[in-house]
């Protein structure tokens, strides 16, 4: 008789009992803002989002923060659990998740001084234990009066009561990232001399009373956890040791501790809220071991845990009991099911670009994923309609846009051929991965290549499409995805200064001189990445950006990490600088606001990062040859990989 092989991830897919909840595996979707709620309530879009992850096999979903008091509104699009009208929406959400044997908790939240914005544009009044300003959002809070502290504590209990009534399995008090409970714990922020400050015992009082109020308003089977930063990585933040002591004192009132790191209060500390790809995978896991050794309750951990192999190793080593894998689940909601079935190569691994997840949230848009734009759009793309007839589809260009279009068209049952002029698929992503600490961006190509391989689409490499080839193919549909090329503006120069593009530098086609000036028009990751690359190679580098700051178009945490790296490398950055011209070894820039000259002397090489121009020459030749014609990605208009993949989805889905 054949023998059953051992499961690939025995620790990851073992159950865990926490008070009244049985978790079928050790994978958790942590609480994270989605920007999906309507007027503070659960809606169909949010339910569909979480349902997709429950259906994909995750063991535990912790929903995004639920405000416990009117003063907790730190954005205009959070959930609120301050009145009973929230119960029906939460009930529908719990039922949708429970249908797939998935447990669901909700975060309970008050930001204290960490207020981002208000609904109507007016600056709200922020409250904290003491009047200590927030650096990141420039907020000066009012000290909390005792009656308001009692209102907020009562609010935690009432919010928990509502979630309990809605059928949730538990709640998680958010004491992480410098939010209100952490502000009470922190002796550098809490200067109170009453019962809520002055001694470690008093600084713990707020959390103790919150936890008592929650238990009083729920049941003995209801799970109560706490999320907390094991070290806020800021000079004024809580230390790992302080948080460990607080957790040890509170553990008799808790069913688990969910560890993260960093703080919302400073630019450097906030990077760890959603660490970019520059951070090593699971870089925080080693810090959790100390907590696991000290505490007698389960320890959860999160922070750049992208792959089931990483999570299995963490749990097997005894560093944690549960692994938060939120962005991994945003990129691939079916990751748990694929891992459990052993289909590791089919997992669409998160690349931690932060562009469409936390990047969308910071701009006030619903979260998604550049690799999986179906995320956040589950109501639109949940069920693929059958194609009315099979069509012959010709995709021209093998970058992310063309790859995604071919995948979707083939998935609709069409006969698809993708033509790529070069030997490799991937387009500009092949260049992006060459920049320092950006190698993981190449995962976009790896993941799309695997999906393309299994889609059934035919791939033809090293073939440049022209009109005769298209006429010979006789397609019903042509999808043009030929990308873009570097834009080189018309500016006066006499040839003394070597002028090159970022593409030429990355391809090794030029050897930059000793003194390099990089111009940045777009404000994305290209110019800072080139600056870091050349500075590490030994050149003296200066960066001139046309915007108000470097990385202006980037997600906050990616930007701040890049700027920190350039500062460590002593790369000077000039803002408001627009390219004007070159003469001799002098590069002339113009201040974008004042119009006055900015002069750089002794420049050997000028590297242009001036954006891209669409490579759309084939449009006129190919448009007449097919009944349906699409242009997608950069050949339509140069933008980012996110738009390219999304438009590939749209084109392929529509056939």
Last residue of a domain, one of 332, 363, 380: 380
Average pLDDT over residues 101-110: 98
Angle in degrees, CA 455, 458, 460, rounded to 5: 135
Residues 42 and 128 in one domain: yes
Average pLDDT over residues 274-280: 94
The H-or-E segment that residue 111 falls in is none
User: pLDDT confidence of 6, banded at 50, 70, 90?
Assistant: low
Largest CA distance in the chain: 84
CATH number of the structural domain spanning residue 635: 3.40.50.720
Q: Which of 255-259, 289-293, 608-612, 631-635 is predicted least confidently? A: 289-293
Average pLDDT over residues 91-109: 98
Q: Is the pLDDT of residue 192 over 80?
A: yes
Query: Which stretches of 43-115 are DSSP H helices?
Result: 44-55, 87-98
Residues 508 and 639 in one domain: no
* Distances 76 to 68, 89, 280 between C-alpha atoms, Å: 15, 18, 33
Residues 621 and 604 in one domain: no
User: pLDDT confidence of 431, banded at 50, 70, 90?
Assistant: very high
Last residue of a domain, one of 326, 346, 380: 380
Alpha-carbon distance of 399 to 523, in angstroms, equals: 22
Strands 127-128 and 142-143: parallel
pLDDT tens sequence across 350-402: 999 999 999 999 999 999 999 999 999 999 998 877 788 999 999 999 999 99
Alpha-carbon distance of 359 to 207, in angstroms, equals: 31
**Domain that includes residue 77, residue range:** 16-380
**Residues 411 and 384 sit within 8 Å (Cβ to Cβ):** yes
Domain-embedded: residue 6: no
Percent of the chain with pLDDT over 70: 99
Which string of b and e fits 346-378 if b means at least 16 CB within 10 Å? bbbbbbbbbbbbbbbbbeeebbbbbbbbbbbbb
Residues 541 and 453 in one domain: no
Alpha-carbon distance of 226 to 104, in angstroms, equals: 15
Instruction: Provide the pLDDT for residue 2.
Output: 38
**Residues 258 and 181 sit within 8 Å (Cβ to Cβ):** no
Residues 33 and 162 in one domain: yes
Residues 370 and 397 in one domain: no
Residues 165 and 314 in one domain: yes
CATH number of the structural domain spanning residue 205: 3.20.20.70
Residues 171 and 244 in one domain: yes
User: pLDDT confidence of 118, banded at 50, 70, 90?
Assistant: confident
Instruction: Provide the pLDDT for residue 4.
Output: 42
pLDDT tens sequence across 518-553: 999 999 999 999 999 999 999 999 999 999 999 999
Residues 375 and 421 in one domain: no
**Residues 153 and 213 sit within 8 Å (Cβ to Cβ):** yes
Residues 6+ positions from 506 with CB-CB distance below 8 Å: 431, 434, 435, 530, 533
**Residues 521 and 546 sit within 8 Å (Cβ to Cβ):** yes
Q: Is the pLDDT of residue 1 over 60?
A: no
CATH number of the structural domain spanning residue 544: 3.50.50.60
Which string of b and e fits 52-67 if b means at least 16 CB within 10 Å? bbbbbbbbbbbbbbbb
Residues 222 and 269 in one domain: yes
**Residues 66 and 107 sit within 8 Å (Cβ to Cβ):** yes
Residues 145 and 251 in one domain: yes
Q: Is the pLDDT of residue 3 over 80?
A: no
Q: How many domains are contained in the chain?
A: 3
Average pLDDT over residues 553-572: 96
Residues 408 and 537 in one domain: no
Alpha-carbon distance of 51 to 42, in angstroms, equals: 13
Instruction: Provide the pLDDT for residue 124.
Output: 87
């Amino acid at each position: 008789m054949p023998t059953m092989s051992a499961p690939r991830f025995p620790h990851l897919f073992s159950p865990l009992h926490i008070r009244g909840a049985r978790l079928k595996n050790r994978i958790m979707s942590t609480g994270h803002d989605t920007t999906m709620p309507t007027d503070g309530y659960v809606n169909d879009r949010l339910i569909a989002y979480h349902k997709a992850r429950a259906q994909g096999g995750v063991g535990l979903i912790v929903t995004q923060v639920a405000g416990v008091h009117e003063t907790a509104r730190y954005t205009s699009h959070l959930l609120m659990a301050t009145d009973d009208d929230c119960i029906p929406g939460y009930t529908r959400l719990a039922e949708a998740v429970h249908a797939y044997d998935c447990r669901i908790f909700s975060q309970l939240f008050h930001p204290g001084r960490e207020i981002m914005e208000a609904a109507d544009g007016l600056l709200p009044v922020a409250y904290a234990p003491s009047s200590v300003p927030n650096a990141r959002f420039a907020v000066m809070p009012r000290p909390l009066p005792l009656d308001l502290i009692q209102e907020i504590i009562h609010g935690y209990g009432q919010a928990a009561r509502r979630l309990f009534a809605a059928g949730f399995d538990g709640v998680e008090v958010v004491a992480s990232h410098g939010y209100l409970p952490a502000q009470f714990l922190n002796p550098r922020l809490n200067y109170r001399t009453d019962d809520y400050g002055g001694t470690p015992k008093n600084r713990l009082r707020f959390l103790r009373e919150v936890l008592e109020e929650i238990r009083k308003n729920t049941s003995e089977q209801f799970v109560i956890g706490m999320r907390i930063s094991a070290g806020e990585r800021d000079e004024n933040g809580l230390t790992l040791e302080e948080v460990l002591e607080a957790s040890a004192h509170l553990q008799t009132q808790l069913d688990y501790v969910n560890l993260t790191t960093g703080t919302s209060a400073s630019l450097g500390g906030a990077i760890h809220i959603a660490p970019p790809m520059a951070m090593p995978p699971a870089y925080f896991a080693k810090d959790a071991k100390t907590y696991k050794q000290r505490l007698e309750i389960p320890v959860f951990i999160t922070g750049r845990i992208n792959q089931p192999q990483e999570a299995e190793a963490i749990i097997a080593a005894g560093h944690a009991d549960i692994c938060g894998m939120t962005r991994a689940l945003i990129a691939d909601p079916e990751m748990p099911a694929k891992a459990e079935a052993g289909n590791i190569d089919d997992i669409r691994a998160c690349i931690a670009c932060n562009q469409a997840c936390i990047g969308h949230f910071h701009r006030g848009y619903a979260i998604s994923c550049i690799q999986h734009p179906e995320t956040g759009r589950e109501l639109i793309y949940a069920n693929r309609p059958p194609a009315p007839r099979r069509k012959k589809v010709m995709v021209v260009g093998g970058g992310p846009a063309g790859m995604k279009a071919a995948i979707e068209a083939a998935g609709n049952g069409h006969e698809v051929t993708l033509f790529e002029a070069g030997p490799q698929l991937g387009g500009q992503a092949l260049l992006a991965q060459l920049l320092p600490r950006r190698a993981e961006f190449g995962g976009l190509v790896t993941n799309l290549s695997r999906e393309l391989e299994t889609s059934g689409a035919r791939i033809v490499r090293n073939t440049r499409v022209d009109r005769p080839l298209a006429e010979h193919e006789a397609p019903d549909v042509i999808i043009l995805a030929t990308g873009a090329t570097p834009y080189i503006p018309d500016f006066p120069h006499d040839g003394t200064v070597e002028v090159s593009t970022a593409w030429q530098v990355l391809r090794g086609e030029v050897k930059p001189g000793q003194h390099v000036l990089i111009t940045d028009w777009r404000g994305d990751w290209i110019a800072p990445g080139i600056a870091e690359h050349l500075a590490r190679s030994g050149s003296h580098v200066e960066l001139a950006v046309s915007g108000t700051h470097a990385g202006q178009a980037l997600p906050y945490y990616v930007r701040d990490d890049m700027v920190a790296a350039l500062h460590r490398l002593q790369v000077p950055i000039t803002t408001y600088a627009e390219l004007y011209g070159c003469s001799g070894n002098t590069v002339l820039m113009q201040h974008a606001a004042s119009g006055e000259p900015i002069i750089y002397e002794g420049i050997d090489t000028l590297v242009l990062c001036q954006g891209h121009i669409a490579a759309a020459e084939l449009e006129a030749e190919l448009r007449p040859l097919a009944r349906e014609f699409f242009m997608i990605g950069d050949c339509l208009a140069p933008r980012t990989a996110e738009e390219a993949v999304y438009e590939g989805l749209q084109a392929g889905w529509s056939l």
